[in-house]
Amino acid sequence: MTPLSTLPPAPTQEQQSRRAVGRALAGGLAALAVAPALAGGVAQAAEAKKAPRKWHRCKVHKKHTCWHATTCKHRKHKPPKDDGGKDPKGPDDPGTPPPPQVPGSYDGPAVVDGLPTALALHVGSRFTYGVTPALVAEMAAYPSLQAWIDAQLQPAALPDPAGDALEGWWPALSWDAPRMWAEEQARNGAAWEAMSDYQRWCLLRRITSRRQLFEAVTELFEDHLHVPVHDDGVFGFRVDYGRTIRAHALGRFDDMLVATTTHPAMGISLDNATSTKKAPNENLGRELLELHTVGRGHYTEDDVKASARILTGYRVTTWSTWRVYYDPASHWTGPVTVMGFSDQNAAADGRPVTEAYLRYLAHHRGTAERLARKLAVRFVSDDPSPALVQHLADVYQQAQTAIVPVLRALLESEEFRGSAGLKVRTPSDDIVATWRALAVQPSAPGTDDAAANAILWQTVALGQAPFDWARPDGQPQDGAAWSSVSRVLASFDSHYSMCGGWWPKGSLTYRPLASWVPLSGTDTMRFDALVEHLSRQLLSRSASARLQEACGLATGLSASTKISLKSDLVKWNMPTLLTTVLDNPEHMTR
């Protein structure tokens, strides 16, 4: 467990100068590498602005026409003229062409000639924390991509020694609430540090675990049913809360909702643990409706009040014994109605009513659509189509809130196949993907500056530590939230620090820089062949012309330059070359 005062170690003067050079190079190379990708979007926006506006069928609200060329705005709506029943996307109005579909078959092999197929790379980019040579080898061991997906959807059957080994790295994660409180009283800050250790444990699981899809889905639901790790008083129960979500992440949402809403961590965070029949606290009752289930527009203020009354009775004796119990004397009794749910609620023990209410919410169409959109935003695109959301919501309700059928439907959708490269990696995802790409090997954190501890400071530096979002709505999943210039430059700096093996460093084994060059003795290879090799190793794909050009500019070498183990590039400039590959949009997106 790390002291509260632990901060990232100050870099030496030599490291500072190296990082300064790296930032300068990275900034220029980013312009080269990213500009073509951005140029397309800018050009499209410019063309849209130049195009004469006219009334057209709204893509979001099918029963109206819209005046705006690129976005829907209600105030510029009007009912459409009679079109004789014609499809607005007929020969005279072709509409927007669908994006190109990723080729490949789920029933075919996931790996061909040592590289993942385009479809396997797309699936791996969305449902793992980074496609690596080790993951490619694992995929190749299955008869088909579908077989690998099926195995990922049954994580309990996947041996996971690397993930399991993390269980003993941070002892505080096994403490119960009274023990945590005793440690906090003995040493101020112990509880805060334990929550930081939980964040580290989550990050290291994303790096090391074979159960990659499970980790990705678990993160989504832990953000959806968000309890901030450093929220006041939750420290004794927050680790168990995360494990509760893990127990249901690939199960049924109605079971997950019951378990998390009545969990002491949620009760403390949103004040339900102190709510009484005389003074029902509305925080949890409101957020349950607004954030966790149906969303705004489905409920009234009277519904919020009734929701809060139903949830009374769940208690925690905070700041003393930390006893968790149900108190019938605190439960509000009397008839309750929330939307379509009604109950006489006559018994002092309101737990059966609470469970029935929560299951009603979990099965509600509004909840189905809200979860469908959240899954689509995480795994498809920032702006999934209403048609996809409705389809996934249908599957969710037909499957009685089971999550796996929804994931299968999402994977089978044409929209998923057409979304390759459209998602920006979040800052924490970038840190995890960089650790995986560089194949660094962490050890148990025996010291404060061990890399397994320092990884948290890496995410803090990029602005997104896990489950640290202060508001109850959880961290955003859209690219715009994480695409600022400062975030991108911070990612470049982090790439350079790790590519040079400079930080984090304690209890972490980096590959020798020369090992990235597939040569021995006096052998030589062309520079463009080396870039191709590195692209396959770090990005699991062939090098694009853009990447070849960026690497040449970064190192001052031409494509035909002969490289040997004695070349200056290998002896001192490999961090620059590796960084350039990781600064590429193919690594910064997924």
List all residues 6 or more positions away from 261 whose beta carbon is below 8 Å from its beta carbon. 284, 288, 292, 311, 354, 358
The rounded distance, in Å, linking the Cα atoms of 540 and 505 is 26
**The pair of three-digit structure tokens given for residue 258, joined into one six-digit string:** 């019951």
Per-residue three-class SS string for 521-590: CCCCEEHHHHHHHHHHHHHCCCCCHHHHHHHHHHHCCCCCCEECCCCHHHHHCHHHHHHHHHCCHHHHEC
Q: Write the single-letter amino acid at 82.
A: D
pLDDT digits (tens), the chain, 590 positions? 444 344 344 444 444 444 444 444 444 444 434 444 433 333 333 343 344 445 555 555 545 555 454 445 444 455 544 444 444 444 344 455 667 788 889 999 999 999 999 999 999 999 999 999 999 999 999 999 999 999 999 999 999 999 999 999 999 999 999 999 999 999 889 999 999 999 999 999 999 999 999 999 999 999 999 999 999 999 999 999 999 999 999 999 999 999 999 999 999 999 999 999 999 999 999 999 999 999 999 999 999 999 999 999 999 999 999 999 999 999 999 999 999 999 999 999 999 999 999 999 999 999 999 999 999 999 999 999 999 999 999 999 999 999 999 999 999 999 999 999 999 999 999 999 999 999 999 999 999 899 999 999 999 999 999 999 999 999 999 999 999 999 999 999 999 999 999 999 999 999 999 999 999 999 999 999 999 999 999 999 999 999 999 999 999 999 999 999 999 999 999 999 999 999 999 999 99
Residue 100: the pLDDT is: 78
Alpha helical stretches, state H, 209-339: 212-224, 238-248, 253-261, 264-269, 282-287, 301-310
What H or E segment, with its residue span, contains residue 343? Answer: strand 341-343
The rounded distance, in Å, linking the Cα atoms of 69 and 56 is 9
Residue 65: the pLDDT is: 56
How many C-alpha atoms does 328 have within 13 Å on its Cβ side? Answer: 6
The rounded distance, in Å, linking the Cα atoms of 436 and 209 is 11
Per-residue three-class SS string for 430-443: HHHHHHHHCCCEEC
Residue 96: the pLDDT is: 54
Look at the block and give the residue holding tokens 């990705």. Answer: 216
Residue 42's Cβ-count burial label (10 Å; 0-12, 13-18, 19+) is: exposed
The distance from CA 299 to its chain's CA centroid, rounded to whole angstroms, is 29
Residue 97: the pLDDT is: 62
